[in-house]
Amino acid sequence: MNKQISSLTPFFNPQGVAVIGASTNPDKLGYGLARNLVQSKYQGALHYVNPKGGKLLGRPLYASILEVPDPVDLAILLIPAKAVPQALLQCGERGLPAAIIGSGGFRETGPEGAALEAECLQIAQAHQMRLLGPNCIGLLDTHLPVDATFLPPPGPLPGDVAFISHSGAICAALIDWARGQGFGLSKLVSLGNQADINETDVLKPVAADPHTRVLCLYLESVSDGLKFVSVASQVSPKKPIIALKVGRYASGQRAVASHTGALAGEDNAFNAAFHRAGVIRADTSEEMFDWARALAWCPLPRGRTVAVLTNAGGPGVNAVDAVESNGLKVAELKYETQAALGKHLPRAASLLNPVDMLASATPGQYAESLRILLSDPGVDSVLVILPPPPMFSSSAVASALIPVIHKTDKPVVITLMGESLIQETAAQFRAARIPEYRFPERAASALAILAQRAESLSSPPSKAQSGYQVDTDAVRAVFHEYKPDFEQASLPQEVSHQILAAYGIHTPPIGLARSPEEAKQLAEKFGYPVALKVASPDIIHKSDLGGVILDQRSSQAVAESYIRITRNIQSARPDARITGVHVQRMFPKGQEVIIGGVQDPMFGPLVMFGSGGVEVEDLKDVAFALAPLPLEEAERLLDKTWAGRKLDGYRNLPPADRGAVLDVLMRLAQLVADQPELEEIEINPLLVLPQGEGAYALDVRGRYA
């Protein structure tokens, strides 16, 4: 058995549970926990610990864990925080391998609580004991069964969706909501402060549960970004993982030297990490569980075409809009399909997609029309709309539809519109494990996730490109030579160009002039036209201050531009250090994009691609990925942005050298992966010439950590 799973076995399959802090007072959490363990019909040994003695729910109260008889391999502590270390020490002496600390009063309360939490972890580690919590509500398994939480009954219905959460309050609300929705859970794990066990640790044990078909995560952060990506990448091909990452708009305040650094916030890093790990990211709690039901209960589609079956025109049109807005396609029904529908429906019915059977549609017409649509090879999935029919009960329609849905290998989701009139019908579909939603938008979104899941499984991730021949020693030598200048400055252009050249990324000839005369000499050497750019470690956005002049075509113009640039900067930023002016050979016009790399504190090296220029932070037409990059993911970055799609040509723009852009992107990804000391590096713009003519890094900026 996997070592990680084995080490957590007492949490998920305990042979005996001891409740330290069990109480005879019904108002205490210790009573609620004891009650839940009994009412969940846990079949293992159950022990209660309270120094006051007596009996609780027909069982003796032991004075300490040291008196509890075997078997016991899991202790649950619900006692004041200051008493936890001593009780935990006794658990260690007793030889227990696992403990849940449900008590609050630890790191979440401040420095004193943090010290108490650290003490608990030290005790656990000294006795090779794993900890869940503190400050958590515990865990439950509806199939074992065991309810090791103190939440009020009733608990969740047995189901096939597991929920792992950083928030205990969310767990409590979810259980009540899910039961009201007729939605079952397989496992629930509340992580609390994660002094020891974190979200990554429980992924494999929860996924190993045969009753769990989907894993849902409520995340505030992750404890170890690289480990999370590694483990989730192993789990997600076997069972889908849906994550709701909250706090997405919190922004860090670290200094940055580039647009890439400014845009590579926590949220973009999580998006990149989730994509690499195969984790589906939900934007809302409702979305997460809408998708979970579909993934747990539906077969996966073969493609993205959808047929809509309705008895009302308005909702049908609404559904078609939702289908297309979710990246799905409205299926074009074959002539044979339309003809078959016509034999069973009124003359006034619409046989196109959406198929509108009219308000008079009978349960039999619903069932037969669905069967016909499912038999069309051009239909990959079906969205059925069922408002309360005026002539028949929605329950009768459901009874007719369910056998048809159970016989197909294509996904079918129901838009069951209404509320009070459709409660019985909703229960029918839920009992039959058929996802039903109140509005077409939610149903279409669920179908889109099924298509996304099917596509991800049919295209397993490839290995990142890392075969470029690079003289890494030469790169490090460059860093070492210039390191004294890096403490408060970005990398000089010459250094950045040397680094890019070592990785096979082409740059136009460039040189640093310290006088108008030197600028003229460099221009004559490189050939006209040339661009002049101020060289200053204190200025990031040079063009904003008049520090860039382009398309200079004579020595006199070059000399005058040198003087103009230095005067512009001295006027705008008299405190800025000016080391000279860079002279660079200009290329013919092409498309301009931005490519950058940055070291993320949680997930390591990231790369960015998108629309370049001075408005990159305003446009935000960018996409991020973890580095290094496989070709398929580099392609995705281009396809996801307007800058990338435009490379294929747009209006008066001829097609550009897309292959050269992909090559530069993967080379830069390898650079930031190879050189962790390189905190940021950015090419803005990367000039992309017509097909077959390559791409050149015109302006480079970077920061050495």
3-state secondary structure of 446: helix
Q: How would you write 470-534 as a 3-class SS string? A: CCHHHHHHHHHHHHHHCCCCCCCHHHHHHHHHHCCCCCCCEEEECCHHHHHHHHHHHCCCEEEEE
Residues 647-689 have pLDDT tens digits of 999 888 889 999 999 999 999 999 999 888 888 999 999 999 9
Is pLDDT above 90 for 256? no
Between helix 266-277 and helix 631-640 the angle, nearest 10°, is 130
Q: How far apart are the C-alpha atoms of 661 and 637, rounded to whole Å?
A: 11
Under 8 Å between Cβ of 392 and 399: no
Q: How far apart are the C-alpha atoms of 279 and 449, rounded to whole Å?
A: 12
Per-residue pLDDT band for 622 (boundaries 50, 70, 90) equals: very high
In 3D space, the residue among 567, 565, 569 whose CA is nearest the CA of residue 552 turns out to be 565
More confident of the two residues 169 and 445: 445
Per-residue pLDDT band for 492 (boundaries 50, 70, 90) equals: confident
Strand pairing report for 185-190 and 138-141: antiparallel
% of the chain beyond a pLDDT of 70: 93
Cα 23 to chain centroid, rounded:
42
% of the chain beyond a pLDDT of 90: 79
**Which long-range contacts link 23-29 to residues 24+ away (Cβ below 8 Å)?**
23/50, 23/56, 24/50, 24/54, 24/55, 24/56, 24/61, 29/78, 29/102, 29/150
Number of H helices, E strands in the chain: 25, 30
Instruction: List residues bridging with 20 in a β-sheet.
Output: 49, 77
Question: Which burial class, exposed, middle or buried, applies to 255 when counting CB atoms under 10 A from its CB (0-12, 13-18, 19+)?
Answer: exposed
Domains by residue range for the chain, with CATH? 3-212 (3.40.50.720), 299-458 (3.40.50.261), 472-585 (3.30.1490.20), 591-704 (3.30.470.20)
Per-residue pLDDT band for 342 (boundaries 50, 70, 90) equals: very high
Q: How far apart are the C-alpha atoms of 91 and 97, rounded to whole Å?
A: 8
pLDDT mean over 403-414: 98
Is pLDDT above 80 for 481? no
Q: How far apart are the C-alpha atoms of 152 and 71, rounded to whole Å?
A: 27
Q: How far apart are the C-alpha atoms of 222 and 224, rounded to whole Å?
A: 6
Please report how many Cα atoms fall inside a 13 Å half-sphere around the Cα of residue 5, on the Cβ side. Answer: 12
Q: Which two tokens stand for residue 495?
A: 């250094």
Q: How far is CA 600 from CA 76, 201, 267, 677, in A?
A: 37, 22, 11, 12
Contact residues for 12 (Cβ-Cβ < 8 A; gap 6+): 139, 141, 144, 187, 205, 206, 209
Under 8 Å between Cβ of 603 and 597: no
Residues 2-36 have pLDDT tens digits of 555 568 999 999 999 999 999 999 999 999 999 99
3-state secondary structure of 339: helix
Q: How far apart are the C-alpha atoms of 132 and 191, rounded to whole Å?
A: 6
3-state secondary structure of 108: helix
Q: How far apart are the C-alpha atoms of 641 and 616, rounded to whole Å?
A: 12
Residue 463 is predicted with a pLDDT of 65
Contact residues for 249 (Cβ-Cβ < 8 A; gap 6+): 267
Cα 224 to chain centroid, rounded:
15
Contact residues for 91 (Cβ-Cβ < 8 A; gap 6+): 20, 65, 75, 99, 127, 129
Residues 508-561 have pLDDT tens digits of 999 999 999 999 999 999 999 999 999 988 887 788 899 999 999 999 999 999
Strand pairing report for 305-310 and 381-386: parallel
Rg (alpha carbons) of the chain, rounded to whole number:
31
pTM above 0.75, yes or no: yes
If one counts every other C-beta atom within 10 angstroms of the C-beta of residue 613, the result is: 15
